[in-house]
Amino acid sequence: MSQPTPGDGAPSRPGDPERAADLAHMRRAVALAARGRGTTSPNPVVGCVILDARGRVAGEGFHAYAGGPHAEVVALRAAGEGARGGTAYVTLEPCDHTGRTGPCSEALLRAGIARVVVAVADPNPEAAGGADRLRAHGVAVETGVLTGEAERGNAEWLASVRLGRPHVTWKYAATLDGRSAAADGTSQWITSPEARADVHRLRAEADAVVAGIGTVLADDPRLTARPPGAGGSGEAVRAGGSARPPLRVVVDSRARTPLSARVLDGEAPTLVAVAEDADAAELEKRTEVVRLPRRGPYGIDLRALLTELSRRRIVGVLLEGGPTLAGSFLREDLIDRVVGYLAPALLGEGAAALGPAGVATIAATRRLEFEDITPVGPDLRLTARPAPR
């Protein structure tokens, strides 16, 4: 039930077989790239498909983990001599620099690739330039094929480069009338086991899971990633079996996190963000604490928090805080994606899913565009992004 995106769609001319083939192979490359979600950070997710000179698939690959071979290298190894004179479909412009691995542009040239089709130009000035190098050596390069779809799959890394801060996904669960808790404060469980399992998948794909002190005091969550099949009782892992669990971040301006809170259980790393004038001496004995300027209704400078997370090479953040923290992030224009789980239930009163966000009139409404609507068990998962202003 995904929503189409302009610029991603059908061939430009009916019956154009080359254009249709380009879209099909790039769509396959996007699907391959998705296999690296949760294990490549702080690198992007990238997929690659190699065709031989006759247009047959000779090799496929994706970037599986940071420091490992890039997608083009994996696909070229699989293709072998079949790559010579062929075409490479890559979701992100081949890199043109030497980091922990060599330039993919040179690997493509050595393999004798004749044509390269790119979905998204690399916005990182340190790595960009692969397309120009390939063209300079006589390789035909086409860019902008299935760009929207490839960007959605790589949204976290692209935001981190373009915005200079982590990409923020706000996740919430609510009834159909928008309530996240009942009038007596109870909130477990509004949604189904299937929806909660899907949330663990989101956590496993994130670099950090952020919650506010209100959520910690009310629900005492663990905030660990425990996707189905990831291991035994409560093992905190990331997608793909990586040993690096997402960082748990508690936004707690007054250092009220109880020392008995489950986020301090040592199962995964935890960072407590407090205001610079908070008394956090006891907390500092149990976990890492960062002091940030006091600002805004939540008592913490949220942009400073994201800057700190970026310094720690955090690319994607999953915001699971309560309505007050979510409203503060929205007020600061710091939410890049919304994932809502709606249960077919009604409460009529109780806490709203979103708190005050600086919207006083209909004219100031924060408009979104639906990206996906998918049933998850008896619930609905709605995914949306801010609409262009």
Pairing of strands 208-212, 247-251: parallel
SS3 161: helix
Helices 71-79, 17-33: axis angle to 10 degrees equals 120
Cα dihedral 319, 324, 329, 335, rounded to 10, equals 50
What 8-state DSSP symbol labels residue 83? G
Cross-strand partners of 319: 170, 210
What DSSP line would sit under 178-213, residue for residue? -BSS-TTS--TTSS-HHHHHHHHHHHHH-SEEEEEH
| In contact, 44 and 154? CB cutoff 8 Å | yes
Closest CA to 250 of 339, 322, 336, 163: 322
Whose tokens are 């994996």? That residue is 74
Helix and strand totals (H; E) in the chain:
11, 14
* CA angle 145–150–154, rounded 5-degree value: 150
Question: Residues with catalytic annotation?
Answer: 72
What 8-state DSSP symbol labels residue 387? P
285 C-beta neighbours (distance < 10 Å), count = 9
Cross-strand partners of 62: 47
207 C-beta neighbours (distance < 10 Å), count = 24
Say if residue 367 is exposed, middle or buried (CB neighbours under 10 Å; 0-12, 13-18, 19+).
Answer: exposed
Closest CA to 170 of 326, 306, 314: 326
| Percent of residues in the chain assigned helix, strand, coil, to nearest 5 | 30, 20, 45
Cross-strand partners of 134: none
Phi, psi of 5, deg, nearest 5: -120, 130
